[in-house]
Amino acid sequence: MSVATAPDPYVQDGPYAWFRLAISILLSTLGGAGMWAVVVVLPAVQTDFGIDRAGASLPYTATMLGFAAGNYLLGRFVDRFGIVPPVIGSAVALSAGFALAALSTDVWMFSLAQGVLVGLGTAATFGPLIADVSHWFLKRRGLAVACAACGNYLAGVLWPTFIQWSLATTDWRETYLMIAAICIVTMVPLALILRRRPPESALSAAPSARAFGDQSTGLSPAALQWLLVLAGLACCVAMSMPQVHIVAYCVDLGFGVAPGADMIALMTGAGVISRLASGFVADKIGGVKTLLIGSVLQCAALFLYIPFDGLASLYLVSLIFGLAQGGIVPSYAVIVREYLPAREAGQRVGLVIMSTILGMALGGWLSGLIYDLTGSYDAAFLNGIAWNFLNMAVMIFILFSGRRRWTSFAAG
């Protein structure tokens, strides 16, 4: 008589995997302070240092550059040493960065603290954490990756609310010191919970190529990687137009700042729904098709911004835009795990995430430049649509490369 064995809770898709995902979402939400704090305190920092708006925007740019670089650099580190050292380092860097920024005497010192410490620290809780989560899931990998990516959006709900409350009772420097304390006290214990390394079978598994059954894309790993980098850059140049300029657009139309801020919140909230939905879809049809669907919907939403410029219609289009674009970035991580070596997931996911962040930075600047040249945002929306078509073209190329290879194999 055979003896039944209890299921191993530490295998992929097991109970521990879901517990680990919950801890990862919490870490991502806490670490996301680095992305949102500098935006909320910008007016106070501008007044404190006596600088113009362009100078006050420099710390945000520095933060984004540090965040972009950190996703790739720390991703490589995760592949070698696991997720715990980078996340503990993230907690230390965030705490030190916020403390140093609070003690800054000028905008240059503040920008340095934001870019080198806060930006790099925040990076560990996005791309590298998503890559680690992906090792613990197989059947529900798309959903798990999407959930992990939601931490960044949840941070956009939590931290601005906390900072606004704090600024009502104290100044931005004390607020930054409080955030420094919160990060080090909460993130280190949570990181230690993740000490268990992924199952060896997950790290040694061959790419699954689930979007096409058993066939691959027909592209070399290097070619696919750089196509994904190009696609990530293109989609986020397009994505940045509403996200970066919707407030200014509303001011130009005479609606004021408040509706634009509400539309950003609407996009973010809808983005959470979109990310979760895209995770379910990716588990059914694969990352490439899921990303292509999101890209087509995002392009359609960008088109809608041009003719519909009334207040009510802008709210509706912003909702549609948020529902369209939220699932795009997590889909890149799903594609990497489907087609590229598991042991290199950290650096490969990090490289694509880095390209999306650089795309946001480039797109925000390009849209502003086009507005300065034309005096209207219509051409800026068209510029975003053109970049969106480039993203769609890349994804269609990847999709049909796999089908051509499968057709050739079947014919042979």
The residue ranges of every structural domain in the chain are 15-203, 210-406
- The reported pLDDT for the residue numbered 9 is 61
- The reported pLDDT for the residue numbered 153 is 82
Q: Does domain 15-203 have CATH number 3.40.50.720?
A: no
- The reported pLDDT for the residue numbered 4 is 46
- Helix and strand numbers (H, E) in the chain are 18, 0
- The reported pLDDT for the residue numbered 404 is 53
- The reported pLDDT for the residue numbered 226 is 93
- Please check whether residue 361 is in contact with residue 237, taking contact to mean a CB–CB distance below 8 angstroms: no
Residue 141's nearest CA partner among 288, 24, 12, 271 is 12
The angle that helices 221-252 and 257-285 make with each other, rounded to 10 degrees, is: 150
CA distance 139 to 300: 31
Q: pTM score, two decimals?
A: 0.78
- The reported pLDDT for the residue numbered 264 is 80
CA distance 409 to 358: 38
Mean pLDDT by 10 residues, the chain (412 residues): 50 86 94 84 82 71 86 84 91 95 92 91 89 87 88 83 85 94 96 84 55 56 92 92 82 84 83 89 91 95 92 94 90 89 84 89 83 87 95 93 53 48
- The reported pLDDT for the residue numbered 335 is 92
CA distance 359 to 237: 5
Four-CA torsion 305, 310, 311, 312, nearest 10 degrees: -90
Residue 17's nearest CA partner among 150, 147, 152 is 147
- The reported pLDDT for the residue numbered 321 is 94
- The reported pLDDT for the residue numbered 410 is 44
114 conformational bin, left if phi > 0, alpha if psi -120 to 50, beta if neither: alpha
- The reported pLDDT for the residue numbered 365 is 80
| Six-digit token string for 220 | 């070399």
- The reported pLDDT for the residue numbered 215 is 44
CA distance 133 to 23: 10
CATH architecture of the domain formed by 210-406:
Up-down Bundle (1.20)
